[in-house]
Amino acid sequence: MPPMPDQAGLYRQMYRIRRFEQTVLDAFPKGVFYGTTHTYIGQEANATGVLAHLGADDIVFSNHRCHGHFIAYGGDLRALFAELMGKATGVCGGLGGSQHLHWRNFYSNGVLGSTAPVAVGSALAEKAKDSQALAVIFLGDGALGEGVVYESLNIAALWGAPVLFVVENNHIAQTTPIELALAGDIPARFAAFGIPCSRLDSSDALEIHAAAEAEFAALRATPGPRALVLDTQRFGPHSKGDDTRDEALMARIRQQRDPLRLLAPRLADTQRETIEAEVEAEVAAAFAQAEADPFPEAAA
Amino acid sequence: MSTVLAALNRGLHAAFEQDQRVYLIGEDLLDPYGGAFKVSQGLSTKYPDRVWTSPVSEAALAGVAAGMALRGLRPVVEIMFGDFSTLIADQLINSIAKFGAMYGGDVAVPLVVRTPMGGRRGYGPTHSQTLEKLYLGVPGLRVLAAHALSDPGELLRRAILEDDGPVFFVENKLLYLRPLAAELQDFEIEQHTPPGAYAATHTLRLKGAPSAALTLTAYGYMAELAREAQLRLAFEHEIFCELVVPGQLAPLLPGGELDGALAASLEKSRRLLAVEEGSYTLGWGAEVLARAAQAFPGGLKAASRLAAPDAPIPASRPLEEAALPGVEHILAAVQKMV
Ligand SMILES: Cc1ncc(C[n+]2csc(CCOP(=O)(O)OP(=O)(O)O)c2C)c(N)n1
Ligand SMILES: [Mg+2]
């Protein structure tokens, strides 16, 4: 039996993502941030449950909706706020912005699907170097419309790339519901290339943690691509104030599929309240620091 | 006598031998075939673990190479025909050339995409193009063009082993069978390496010729045709030209500055003809002329360019010959300018 996951740790990580993203959405209209953003509210259990199993040398590829992945990877909140503000102290010194983060073995890119071959190539490089490191790539349901993803699945399977494809199926791509964008089903796409795929419809961090644990164990035992489809829900707008979905339906979804609400009963009230208070303070301090940070100087 | 093809093949072998991090990925690479134009011959036999023959998936190949480069390897990607470089354009522009800068400067993407370009073989509209102009001016991407004046294999080896950024390496198809650095005895050749580059610009003048009346500039296989024109202009028409052949097409000098070798030649000749095989509008020559105009605010006596028309390249031999600039086109253009 694997040890019980650290429930308080999972809750804390998800709460950090939630409070970070809420702060972003609240502060955006005040002009504090610059550019765009795609928040992870509602999907916190995915990154938190999956990346809990990451080894120190493992590699993560993320997409436009990358804040949650970055925070779960261990990324610094102040540096992320600062990157969204375009500050010199940002993750990439303000050059990348919300969608283009790199820190240690974490990379994100805002061009949908383009990360698939890069993740496969990274995994193949680690295999060639005999490093034992794995790559994990997060893709949305919308990215499954990109042809290069399928070229990458084919190559990953042919060449035995140690990579875990995590599809976060939130049933929507920007404003387009999955019914208008995706024919057939998602696991069959992986099956076509002989890539083992499991699927979980849950927002429960413990369930996702367990499913990912099995995937990582299998991947470390037999290197070669695997896939995990996580059916999930995006609570907020695609970017900012651009949600076209039915408000009553969204209210019901938020009620039923909130990862925080699902995990909260497993913690003692006092423990949960302590975590929440600590995270509130941490996020507020990170935001204040980033706000006070300097902008980079443009080259003359 | 060695050919450009043999030199490129030697360059690849040298890179593989000198650095374990070098990998080759592309289509139909395995011996005895060794790639559609044979540039990769022998590598799969000698380095079976480092030559990965691939499915027909150009976009993914470029992306896979990007991932390999991010993780410390030095991959080379062979794109069978330069026409198919359009399939890797997203990876080139939005990943490969971007990572270095957009991630704040702490990431390197040392990879080389090699590809044959060009026509004059009757392959028709989709297998004959000279498309490198599409990638000139993509920030973060170096574009090199092989030529026969000095060892292109050595240039390729350096691009693979010594360049920590991405390189798009263009090999004109007709160059492959050209003898290397042959019939240069009549020329005095000066080499000048632009700042930040490692591919030299070659300036050719005929030995003992009077001062040049015109500066020709061309790269790749077109430089071979320009050199032939240069000889005929001198011997048949007593028009003396200098020929400036860059090895690096991009990046050009910042701030719109003209390449030093070209500036030095124009200082004397004050006439410029840029010749390229790519299509005319917004071509390489347009940029060269624009920079020359800025560099000589008092104006040049004449400035012009030759390029393929803005039309698909026909398959039929007479039509293709008429479309792509050749020696006769250069002779006619120069005679009009002096
Ligand atoms: C190649 C490409 N096309 C279009 C876009 C614009 N775009 C950004 S996010 C998005 C929808 C993405 O949907 P999905 O992959 O399901 O991820 P989600 O936003 O649901 O997390 C689109 C169309 C893009 N970033 N890249
Ligand atoms: Mg989606």
Question: Which residue of chain B is at minimal alpha-carbon distance from A90?
Answer: B104
Whether residue B210 sits in one domain with residue B252:
yes
In chain B, the number of structural domains is 2
Number of separate helices (H) and strands (E) present in chain A: 11, 9
pLDDT at B85: 98
SS3 B169: strand
Average pLDDT over residues B192-197: 97
The tens digit of pLDDT for each residue in B216-274 reads 999 999 999 999 999 999 999 999 999 999 999 999 999 999 999 999 999 999 999 99
Q: What percent of chain B has pLDDT over 70?
A: 100
Q: Quote the radius of gyration of chain A (alpha carbons, Å).
A: 19
Residue at a domain's end among B119, B149, B175:
B175
Residue B91 near chain A (CB below 8 Å): yes
The tens digit of pLDDT for each residue in A111-125 reads 999 999 999 999 999
pLDDT at A246: 94
How many angstroms separate the CA atoms of A293 and A159, rounded? 46
Domain that holds residue A158: 7-292
What confidence tier does A223 reach under pLDDT thresholds 50, 70, 90?
confident
User: Is B214:B336 a contact under the CB 8 Å cutoff?
Assistant: no
The packing angle between helices B220-237 and B327-337, to 10°, is: 60
Question: Which residue of chain A is at minimal alpha-carbon distance from B103?
Answer: A92
The tens digit of pLDDT for each residue in A17-33 reads 999 999 999 999 999 99
How many angstroms separate the CA atoms of B177 and B196, rounded? 30
Question: Residue B289 belongs to what H/E stretch?
Answer: helix B284-295
Domain that holds residue B267: 187-337
Question: Domain of B260: which CATH number?
Answer: 3.40.50.920
Whether residue A254 lies inside any domain: the answer is yes
Residue B317, classified by CB atoms within 10 Å of its CB into exposed (0-12), middle (13-18) or buried (19+), is exposed
What confidence tier does A52 reach under pLDDT thresholds 50, 70, 90?
very high
The tens digit of pLDDT for each residue in A170-202 reads 999 999 999 999 999 999 999 999 999 999 999
Residue A62: CB atoms within 10 A of its CB come to: 27
Scanning B106-145 for CB atoms below 8 A from A yields 106-107
What confidence tier does A5 reach under pLDDT thresholds 50, 70, 90?
confident
Question: Domain of A279: which CATH number?
Answer: 3.40.50.970
How many angstroms separate the CA atoms of B252 and B274, rounded? 15
**pLDDT at residue A1 tops 60:** no
Q: What is chain A's mean pLDDT, rounded? A: 97
Say yes or no for a CB contact (<8 Å) between A148 and B60: yes
Residue at a domain's end among B147, B175, B203:
B175
Query: Which value, to the nearest 10 degrees, does the dihedral of the CA atoms of residues B42, B43, B49, B50 take?
Result: -170
How many angstroms separate the CA atoms of A195 and A190, rounded? 5
How many angstroms separate the CA atoms of A202 and A208, rounded? 7
What confidence tier does A4 reach under pLDDT thresholds 50, 70, 90?
confident
**pLDDT at residue A271 tops 70:** yes
Query: Which atom number of ligand 1 is nearest to the Cα of residue A99?
Result: 25
Whether residue B201 sits in one domain with residue B150:
no
Q: What percent of chain A has pLDDT over 70?
A: 99
**pLDDT at residue B177 tops 60:** yes
Residue A124: CB atoms within 10 A of its CB come to: 28
Whether residue B29 sits in one domain with residue B152:
yes
pLDDT at B1: 75
Whether residue B213 sits in one domain with residue B192:
yes
Average pLDDT over residues A205-209: 98
SS3 A248: helix
Tell me the chain B residues in contact with residue A96 when contact means C-beta distances shorter than 8 Å. 102-104
Kindly state the DSSP code that residue A265 receives in the 8-state scheme.
G
- DSSP bridge partners of B214: B241
For the question of whether the overall pTM of this predicted structure is more than 0.95, the answer is yes
Q: Which of A68-72, B104-108, B200-204, B269-273 comes out lowest in average pLDDT?
A: B104-108
pLDDT at A241: 85
Q: What distances in angstroms separate CA B223 from CA A139, A203, B44, B62, B149, one per listed residue?
A: 47, 63, 32, 29, 9
Check if A173 has its Cβ closer than 6 Å to any atom of ligand 1: yes
Tell me the chain A residues in contact with residue B108 when contact means C-beta distances shorter than 8 Å. none
Whether residue B50 lies inside any domain: the answer is yes
User: Is A203:A232 a contact under the CB 8 Å cutoff?
Assistant: yes
**Top mutation candidate among A64, A168, A229, A239 for ligand 1, by most atoms within 8 Å of CB:** A64
Residue at a domain's end among B119, B144, B175:
B175
Whether residue B127 lies inside any domain: the answer is yes
CA of A137 to the centre of ligand 2 (A): 15
Q: Quick check: bond before B116 cis, omega within 30?
A: no
In chain A, the number of structural domains is 1
**pLDDT at residue B167 tops 90:** yes
Check if A42 has its Cβ closer than 6 Å to any atom of ligand 1: no
Whether residue B210 lies inside any domain: the answer is yes
Whether residue B317 sits in one domain with residue B214:
yes
The tens digit of pLDDT for each residue in A77-126 reads 999 999 999 999 999 999 999 999 999 999 999 999 999 999 999 999 99
ipTM: 0.95
Average pLDDT over residues B171-200: 96
pLDDT at B118: 98
Whether residue B182 lies inside any domain: the answer is no
Q: What is chain B's mean pLDDT, rounded? A: 97
What confidence tier does B25 reach under pLDDT thresholds 50, 70, 90?
very high
Token reading at B223: 């430089």
